[in-house]
Structure 1
Amino acid sequence: MIAQLAPHGAEKVRVRGLAALRTPAPAKATAVLVPGYTGSKEDFAPLLDGLAAGGFRALAIDLPGQFESPGPADETAYLPAPLGAVVAGLVEDVAAEAPVVLLGHSYGGLVARAAVLAGAPVAGLTLLDSGPAELPDGARRQALGAGEPVLRASGLDAVYRVREQVSARSPLWVALPPDLKDFLRERFLASSPAGLLGMAAGLRTEPDRVDELAATGVPTLVVAGERDDAWSVPSQREMAARLGAPFELIPGAAHSPNTENPAALVRVLLRAWRQWLV
């Protein structure tokens, strides 16, 4: 399987102006899937057919400013709260036809949480390799700080050249198929610079809103790759405890179980989501 280029039976559509991948109906509910920073709907390609076979219509979206979805020039529009309002509106439309379960990966988890706090009518929320607040100190946060001045001064091409130079030291990157490398480059260069800057700011400033989420009473599931290097596994386990939510570890995965071990992730999701719809 080639991660974001995995074959699937979904069609490309636009929902509220956002590019999306949607599996065919009918289904007992719709799973709205929200990607993280520098991500896109294709991050969920390995999950789509499995979720559909399990009875859920999958709707994977680009957030505004990501890949094939346009976004505003205002950097503050890409913080979790305003993006959450966009997702809440989309969920409200989708929920008019069938119940919705909402999943957010990484930064998308902060956005999906904000959508629930904005009143998105969901049957449940899954936080996938996301955290209680801003990204903690570490390599990922340091990369955000290092990339911002390059992006402001020299643009997307310059930032991606730096990323490629750093990635070239990684055996995992070297082993990626050329067509996947081409896709990742194309996607990054199609991103909104304002979107990347705004989301990077959100990753460094988002407050802890776990107690607010718990107060909504929305059923929640917290899932992490066993080797997540963004938010630590213990911090995600603690977040689940504060939410009174189950916590699941995905073996053989780091920060992106959706591409690193999609079969195990689908099993975990379907088990929880079916319970929410009883």
Structure 2
Amino acid sequence: MQVLTRPQGALHYRIDGPEDGPTLLLINSLETDLRLWEALMPLLPARLRILRYDKQGHGLSDLGDGRSIADHAEDAIALIDEVGGPVVVAGLSIGGLIAQAVAARRPDLVRALVLSNTAARLGTPDSWQARIDAVRAGGPESIAEAVMARWFTPAFRDKPQVALWRLMLSRTPAEGYVAACRALAEADQTAAPAALRLPALVIAGAEDGASPPDLVRATADLIPGAAFHLIPGTGHLPCVETPAAMAALLTPFLERHCR
């Protein structure tokens, strides 16, 4: 296990792949840890050096006090500085908001951007407050069934491995979840995408209940030159539900920009 010491505590990260390979930074969704990407990783180009980490309050990272997307972006920037950049940054859901903020703040560190199942803004302050209230009242387990319905298609929810994703969600520290929800409630990256000047790939799941395709496409339209792709028959976590389809989109993009 590898740890980066940040002002708010320990940030757990992991590097896989050749030490001299081009680096791909993967940023997780809400209520998941760095294991989110494991089904996808073997399908990506073998020469990549893949960097993953647990956000504050998730996985093995300390809770910290990160209550804004900017705080989380500073963690990612510190991690890139630690391992060496520039890198291609790929973020899913809240990870996509963090990725946008990293690219806007430090374009010198970002070769290209992948935004999966995300947008310039996700939800509303009221909807995130309702989630916060539910988790404070009953813990993450109290919202697990509703989250599984937003994350996965009905066909995938019948598979036994969904139980493991439900456990990952349920074991997320409540305060870590609340802090991330507060960051999402305040997050509005609407102005940032239009200012980006870098290669961008934007991916949506056709059956995503958390970030509907039209919302994702609208963000892609804000980024000059961005490519948008819709993955049929998949929900909010294509790296889990349809990793081969996601890898088929990522591989040519990474081959062009991970140099």
Give 3-state SS (helix, strand or coil) of 2:43's partner.
helix
Equivalent residue, structure 1, for 2:51: 59
Matched, 1:208 2:189: yes
Instruction: Give the aligned length.
Output: 250
Given that 2:207 and 2:234 are in contact with CA atoms closer than 8 Å, whether structure 1 keeps it comes out as yes
Given that 1:51 and 1:58 are in contact with CA atoms closer than 8 Å, whether structure 2 keeps it comes out as no
With structure 2 as the length reference, what TM-score do the two structures score?
Answer: 0.83
Q: Aligned partners of 2:78, 2:144: CA distance in 1, in Å? A: 36
With structure 1 as the length reference, what TM-score do the two structures score?
Answer: 0.78
Q: Aligned partners of 1:66, 1:196: CA distance in 2, in Å? A: 8
2:114 to 126, 132, 144: 126
Matched, 1:110 2:89: no
Structure 1 segments unaligned to the other structure (5+ residues): 1-11
Q: 1:205–1:134: structure 2 CA closer, same or farther, 3 Å change rule?
A: farther
Equivalent residue, structure 2, for 1:241: 221
Matched, 1:89 2:72: no
RMSD: 2.8
Q: 1:100–1:41: structure 2 CA closer, same or farther, 3 Å change rule?
A: same
The C-alpha deviation readout for 1:134-171, integer Å capped at 9, x for no partner, is 3269xxx74x444322433x4xxx32442356579996
1:258 to 235, 239, 244: 239
2:26 to 33, 37, 44: 33
Structure 2 segments unaligned to the other structure (5+ residues): none
Tell me by how many angstroms 1:233 deviates. Answer: 1.2
Tell me by how many angstroms 1:223 deviates. Answer: 0.8
Equivalent residue, structure 2, for 1:151: 135
Q: Identity percentage over the alignment?
A: 23
Q: Aligned partners of 2:157, 2:250: CA distance in 1, in Å? A: 31
